[in-house]
Amino acid sequence: MGKNILIISTSLRKNSNSDALAEAFLSGANEAGHFVEKINIIGKSIDFCTGCLKCLNSHRCVIHDYADTVVQKMRKADVIVFATPIYYYEMSGQMKTLLDRANPLYGSDYSFRDVYILTTAAEYDSYVSKNAENGLKGWIECFPKATLKGSLFVGGVDLAGSITNNPKLSRAYEMGKQV
Ligand SMILES: Cc1cc2nc3c(=O)[nH]c(=O)nc-3n(C[C@H](O)[C@H](O)[C@H](O)COP(=O)(O)O)c2cc1C
């Protein structure tokens, strides 16, 4: 049976490399017959978590911006896929902000079991993506029913669009197909 897959693409630039990975994953998952929604946060208004912790009781954020919308989608998805550029050996600030804003899910009902991360960076070495992966793992540890199911890093891509024709795009496609 098809799974509900939510792909959250967090780069803000046009012709984004990490978004190209997200698109390839989307094609693979569609091919396999899943229900896939891919969203990005370009032009969206997203505030930081203020740490008020009202969400621990209400399981809803008091800030009703686009992050709140994303979090409602996260709650219902079986699979969540994050795509992010590497910024200073870490996930993008915008992805981290979304993880923080997902605090209303903590200790509440959520459907997701499998989480994936797709990353791109200018440098080639795969260690460049490790902090981002570990950061996401730390978040996932707070959701005992979920695991990090896959991580794909594509290095050596800096300028927007430079991932075009990269053979690793097919790995993202395969990853999506095998969800
Ligand atoms: C603020 C900033 C920080 C970056 N830090 C790194 C870095 O630490 N290591 C690296 O290899 N590339 C770094 N890059 C390059 C991006 O990771 C690279 O261009 C990536 O492909 C961007 O993905 P996108 O097109 O999806 O936004 C940085 C870029 C920016 C804008």
**96-154, pLDDT tens digit by residue?**
999 999 999 999 999 999 999 999 999 999 999 999 999 999 999 999 999 999 999 99
Strands 79-85 and 114-120, bridge-based pairing: parallel
Domain 4-177 fold: Rossmann fold (3.40.50)
The string of DSSP letters for 22-61 reads HHHHHHHHHHTT-EEEEEE-TT---PPP----THHHHSS-
What residue ranges do the domains of the chain occupy? 4-177
pLDDT in tens, 68-97: 999 999 999 999 999 999 999 999 999 999
88 lines ligand 1 (CB under 6 A): yes
84 lines ligand 1 (CB under 6 A): no
158 lines ligand 1 (CB under 6 A): yes
Taking CA atoms, 15 is separated from 26, 96, 110, 171, in Å, by: 16, 21, 32, 19
Compute the Cα dihedral for 100, 106, 110, 116 and give only its sign: positive
**Nearest Cα residue to 76 out of 128, 117, 50, 113:** 113
129 lines ligand 1 (CB under 6 A): no
Please answer whether residues 10 and 82 qualify as being in contact, where contact means their C-beta atoms are separated by less than 8 angstroms: yes
* Residue-level pLDDT at 1: 81
Q: At what angle do helices 66-76 and 93-101 cross, to 10 degrees?
A: 70
Closest approach atom of ligand 1 to CA 160: 25
Phi and psi (nearest 5°) for 54? Answer: -60, -25
